[in-house]
Amino acid sequence: MVSRTAGFITISKEGRGGMQYEIKTIYQKYLMTVNCYLLKTPSGFILIDTGLPKRRSDLVRELETAGCKPGDLKLIVITHGHLDHNGNTAYLREKYDAKVAMHGGDSAMVESGDMFRGVKGLTVAIVRIMLPLVGMSRYDCFKPDIALEDGRDLSEYGFDARVVHVPGHSKGSIGVLTAEGDLFCGDILGNTDKPAKTTIVDDSVELDASVERLKTLGIRTVYPGHGKPFRMDQYAGGLGVQ
């Protein structure tokens, strides 16, 4: 059953006892758009990605409006190391005394505050020059508290979900797949125009393998880092920009 109250969509278990959760999309816009997702579970809140550094006060206000106070945020899950998903990670960890969990494949990026660490090429050089112009040169570095690997069960945080490692957009990209079939996918898939695979590629072979794997996991709804949620069966295999 799905119902909507105060910005949250409630996902209830059908025919099974146990935990339900509510999903609040925190949409941010500052020259680009990105989504963070706040999950309300019976034992507290989980935040997936932390968004744009220029939208910090908006994000804090959204958490407060949702009733998430310091001590209530059990976990911050980072889908991957890119700046637009990590602009407030270090800040929120400190403010909310929350643990930060992500895959080790992207930890060098976040520990250096440089999403292009080790990546070369003309496009990267141009983007490095452009980012400060939009106020996004580097982000606050942080060291993740928890290294997530494929299959990691998050139920110890009150959230009946598991980690799916989906490299290709970055080495450490992950999705979070709930028992109900909701996937928080970071940037591997997006829906800014239509449901599509990312065009920003770290490794195209890995990316294709990750997308093929997602098709086999019984995913119902995809909550992307960019764009609106969509049903997995709406994804036809095309390309998009995330």
Interface positions with Zn ion (CB under 5 A): 82, 84, 187, 225
State the Cα–Cα distance between residues 2 and 13, nearest whole angstrom. Answer: 10
**Closer residue to Zn ion in complex, CB, 182/187:** 187
Strand boundaries in the chain, DSSP class E: 2-5, 8-11, 21-29, 33-41, 44-48, 73-77, 99-103, 146-148, 161-165, 174-178, 182-186, 189-190, 196-198, 221-224, 230-231, 239-240
Tell me the closest approach of the beta carbon of residue 133 to Zn ion, in angstroms: 18
**Closer residue to Zn ion in complex, CB, 160/202:** 202
Tell me the closest approach of the beta carbon of residue 106 to Zn ion, in angstroms: 10
Tell me the closest approach of the beta carbon of residue 56 to Zn ion, in angstroms: 17
**Closer residue to Zn ion in complex, CB, 18/121:** 121
Tell me the closest approach of the beta carbon of residue 236 to Zn ion, in angstroms: 21
The CB density around residue 6, as the number of other CB atoms within 10 Å, is: 9
In sequence order, what are the residues at sequence separation of 6 or more whose Cβ sits closer than 8 angstroms to the Cβ of residue 36?
Answer: 25, 26, 28, 47, 48, 49, 50, 51, 59, 85
Tell me the closest approach of the beta carbon of residue 39 to Zn ion, in angstroms: 19
Q: What DSSP state is assigned to residue 29?
A: E
**Closer residue to Zn ion in complex, CB, 41/50:** 50
**Closer residue to Zn ion in complex, CB, 28/41:** 28
